[in-house]
Structure 1
Amino acid sequence: MPHPTAHPHYSLSASRPDFSPPEAATGRHTTLQGLASLPRPAADLVLLGDLTGRYAAGSYSRLAPDGRTVTLRGDRQGISEHGHRITAAIACHVARAGGSVDQLTRLLLHPDHEGGRHARHIALRSGQARALDYIHRVWASAVQTVSTSMVLGSRDHAYEVLAALRDRIETTPWCGERARTALRVLRAHLNFAETAGGPLHHASERQAAEEAGISRTTLRAVYETILRPQGWLRRLRVGHGREGSTWYLALGSPHRRVGTAVLSRSRTTQYPPGLALEEWSTSETGATADIDSAVLARLMGQDAFAHRALGSAALMIISALCARPSQTVTDLIASSSVSRATTYRTLQRLARHGLVQHHGETWTLTPHALPGIGHSPTASQTAAGLRAAQSLDEIAQQSGTAGTAARRKALHADQRAAYRQALEHLAEHRSRAVVIVHDGRQVLVPAVRADEISPAWHTPDGRVLDPATGRPAEGWRVATDGRLILIGPADQRTYDELAAAHAQALREWESAA
């Protein structure tokens, strides 16, 4: 339906919007009043549809079977995908404005609103009940998306959000080995988000595992047990082919302590059994932490910080000393969220490798422990006699973890190659073949599909020959691609008969629904 080119300006309102459907007597003016509380782009999307083609990207094209080129989708598939994206965008706008599913339904099913063409097409094709069910599913997804995301007005706003998330990560206590591993995964995704310029980013599980310096099995475990339940990370879409998964970074639950329900063995030092032994009944680590996550991000992929080498506890202590030098053991327990016993063991291990040193009760990084990362020492700290710091490669060599990252990357490369080859075989509909030996050479004979016949079994005009009698079989034809077609009595109906049968089936379906 054509629309006028002039549109009134729409103002933002903090009150609940009025999405009341216009009556026939009031006409289009009441419709515009119902859209007055929506932003101007949202109102234009409802009234005029996607004029700029913003939601058409990827709707009319798809990745070809070779994984390298893009092919066009069918017109019906492209239009349906495009209409669904417009409908989902309108649902998000209404949810963000404080509307309801009934108000969204009135907006989409109004005959003058171009943005609701997809929902009205479903109602016309499959019935009113099917269209309402579709709108409710889109609304549920929109409400979940709006409640766990925020509107980014500009690129600067996006970086402000990422900076706030980084501060939140650095001041959150990550207690326990699994929680510290979750921190490495979260910091890897933060690196991807900073590169993408916002909380929404794309990355595969193998990329995240290589960035965090852990295995894919460990990555999935911490994602399912810590990051996803506590709201730090959400996977919006699972990757396929050459496309990575779509992730969204959130701020996490502010009232939940990370790692309090990890494993019972962590209670030996952080949560003593009771007051009868005159021991503390609360956690040793404080309610807040203070680490430098940038240092952690630079070191977590090194072989020296693998599981059987220095480990994640050393990462936390080094990051805490980089953020605030000269800390006592008590300070390190609070700032790094590492238990007292683990802190003592880790400091002694780091001191043996020449990475940390202590003066009295305070601990600092050695002058040349981490080139380009550590803090400049004072004159008294550079006195002769201090043990020279070993390089991270030497530590990994002594610990037996040298080459772990390289082997992990090689394994992931082989897995990617095998996965892409399997996708190519699936796209080509390959089946098992027979290998025969002819003149000393192996000859590959592809297997014949059940719905494909030899050219000797049919006539040039497409009739199928009966193998027993050699005469054409009644009711069978051969398509242009060599597939068999069964022509039955029901296929001989005229267009009017098919239209009548469709209308009758539609009435029966709606009456049953």
Structure 2
Amino acid sequence: MSSRHDAYEVLAALRDRIETTPWHGERGRTALRVLRAHLNFAEIAGGPLPRASERQTAEEAGISRTTLRVVYKTVLKPCGWLRRLRVGHGREGSTWYLGDGGSKIPDCGGPALLSRFRSTQFPPDPALEEWTTPETATTADINYTVLGHLMGHDAFAHHALGSAALVIISALHQRPDQTVGELVGTSSVSRATTYRTPKRLADQGLVKHTGETWALAPRALEGFGIRLPDADNGHTTAPAQGWDKVAEQHGTWGVAARRKALHAAERAAYQKAMDRLAEHRSKALVIVRDGRQVLVPVPRPDEIPPAWHAPDGRVLNPVTGGAAADWRVASDGRLILITPSDQRSYDELAAAHAEALSEWESVA
């Protein structure tokens, strides 16, 4: 980017594309939350190359690390929305690149990318003119700011209102007074789920039903349900008073706090392990000089004196003066053993090392 202004223009264009892209299915909506979290990081960083750890992203999106990895591998990475450029290490998060998804939509890749949860929905009834065409439109229309503000709250955890309610609220905030058919297109939620979800939100007093259309109740975005008179509404459930109360009613209150506490404990354990690893120095030779013990560290096995470096990258044998056939000097001065059983280049070895670090960090 030539300037910060150009970077923000790129991010604004990316945000517009995400808002109008249909994110089908539960996995697609979860991927939207992950992508929204990374865009938050990118806006703070001032460009499409944010740094963030898996734990940071999971907390921002309001999901688990396991779910985050699934949608990254099955939706965001193969569809060109998100790519990890550099694996994080220590206190430094991974470096990510935000793409625009190309010409693909989040359900790209065919059957292999379908959710592991099979639908229990009955097939469409032709007599009712159900689903003779694709259920959702090719574009969506949701309020991205609302989604980013609410997605991390316990009220929108998997076993509470969930991602479907999140995008429907975002769609109703973007354009009030929509019918179920219109919501199917603007929210990219299936027709059956769109029929169920506004009724659940109405039980909480968060939406109101007028004729054939739905709209957000006053102060709904603050989570304060207000019961409105409706002749067709036979619900007797008391409306929720705040998002915390919504989470309590669904048994998900405290999920985000427990997730953060778990991540904090994992970070502490990981840092403790790294500190112990740093303390594992090589054995040193102890000599006595003037009555004092002096430690003489032994050189690392993969480090050699500069005098042993040959101009062509080979290693000079200090005894014979010739070049050692099976050894090479890497660009950072470390030794590489080249044998018939291991002909990997230095870049391949470095990539394998980065992958091993990623695995170690995931376990830690």
Where on the TM-score scale, by shorter chain, does this alignment land: which range?
0.7 to 0.9
Q: Verify the 8 A CA contact 2:205 2:240 in the aligned structure 1.
A: yes
- Residue aligned with 2:296, SS: coil
Write out aligned runs for 1:110-125 (5 A): none
Larger relative contact order (CA 8 Å, sep ≥ 6):
2
Write out aligned runs for 1:415-434 (5 A): 415-429=266-280
How far did 1:256 drift? 3.8
How far did 1:501 drift? 4.5
Structure 2: distance between partners of 1:187 and 1:199: 12
Amino acid in the other structure paired with 2:296 = D
Which of residues 263, 266, 269 in structure 1 aligns to 2:115?
263
**Quick check: 1:293 aligned with 2:144?**
yes
Percentage of pairs with the same residue: 61
User: Structure 1 421/285 Cα, relative in aligned 2: closer, same or farther at 3 Å?
Assistant: same
Q: What residue is the counterpart of 1:316 in the other structure?
A: 167
How far did 1:283 drift? 2.1
RMSD, aligned CA: 3.8
- Residue aligned with 1:251, SS: coil
Q: Verify the 8 A CA contact 1:233 1:248 in the aligned structure 2.
A: yes
Amino acid in the other structure paired with 1:320 = A
How far did 1:285 drift? 0.7
- Residue aligned with 2:220, SS: coil
Write out aligned runs for 1:484-503 (5 A): 501-502=320-321
Q: Verify the 8 A CA contact 1:452 1:484 in the aligned structure 2.
A: no
Amino acid in the other structure paired with 2:279 = E
How far did 1:293 drift? 1.2
Task: Give TM-score, length-normalised by structure 1.
Answer: 0.53
Q: What residue is the counterpart of 1:223 in the other structure?
A: 72
Q: Verify the 8 A CA contact 2:26 2:115 in the aligned structure 1.
A: no
Structure 2: distance between partners of 1:232 and 1:311: 23
User: Structure 1 502/224 Cα, relative in aligned 2: closer, same or farther at 3 Å?
Assistant: farther
Q: Verify the 8 A CA contact 1:291 1:316 in the aligned structure 2.
A: yes
Write out aligned runs for 1:397-436 (5 A): 397-429=248-280
Structure 1: distance between partners of 2:172 and 2:23: 16
Q: Verify the 8 A CA contact 1:179 1:262 in the aligned structure 2.
A: no
Structure 2: distance between partners of 1:172 and 1:193: 19
Structure 2: distance between partners of 1:248 and 1:336: 26
**Quick check: 1:204 aligned with 2:19?**
no
Q: Which runs of 5+ in 2 are unaligned?
A: 301-315, 329-339, 344-364
User: Structure 1 239/264 Cα, relative in aligned 2: closer, same or farther at 3 Å?
Assistant: closer
Structure 2: distance between partners of 1:344 and 1:392: 22
Q: What residue is the counterpart of 2:23 in the other structure?
A: 174
Structure 1: distance between partners of 2:299 and 2:106: 64
Amino acid in the other structure paired with 1:262 = L
How far did 1:368 drift? 2.0
Structure 2: distance between partners of 1:484 and 1:227: 45
How far did 1:344 drift? 1.2
Q: What residue is the counterpart of 1:346 in the other structure?
A: 197
Q: Verify the 8 A CA contact 1:173 1:288 in the aligned structure 2.
A: yes
**Quick check: 1:334 aligned with 2:149?**
no
Task: Give TM-score, length-normalised by structure 2.
Answer: 0.73
Q: What residue is the counterpart of 1:190 in the other structure?
A: 39
How far did 1:255 drift? 3.4
Deviations 1:23-49 (A, max 9, x none): xxxxxxxxxxxxxxxxxxxxxxxxxxx
Q: Verify the 8 A CA contact 1:199 1:248 in the aligned structure 2.
A: yes
Structure 2: distance between partners of 1:382 and 1:354: 8
Structure 1: distance between partners of 2:75 and 2:160: 24
Q: Verify the 8 A CA contact 1:269 1:339 in the aligned structure 2.
A: no
Q: What residue is the counterpart of 1:359 in the other structure?
A: 210
**Number of residue pairs matched?**
305
Q: What residue is the counterpart of 1:481 in the other structure?
A: 296
Structure 1: distance between partners of 2:186 and 2:63: 24
Q: Verify the 8 A CA contact 1:172 1:258 in the aligned structure 2.
A: no
Q: Which runs of 5+ in 1 are unaligned?
A: 1-151, 431-448, 462-477, 486-496
- Residue aligned with 1:370, SS: helix
User: Structure 1 255/422 Cα, relative in aligned 2: closer, same or farther at 3 Å?
Assistant: closer
Q: Verify the 8 A CA contact 2:21 2:105 in the aligned structure 1.
A: no
User: Structure 1 332/504 Cα, relative in aligned 2: closer, same or farther at 3 Å?
Assistant: closer
Q: Which has the larger radius of gyration?
A: 1
Deviations 1:466-511 (A, max 9, x none): xxxxxxxxxxxx99526699xxxxxxxxxxx9679555557x99xx
Structure 1: distance between partners of 2:63 and 2:100: 23
**Quick check: 1:249 aligned with 2:98?**
yes
Structure 2: distance between partners of 1:345 and 1:372: 19
User: Structure 1 242/316 Cα, relative in aligned 2: closer, same or farther at 3 Å?
Assistant: same
Amino acid in the other structure paired with 1:205 = E
- Residue aligned with 1:200, SS: coil
How far did 1:157 drift? 1.2
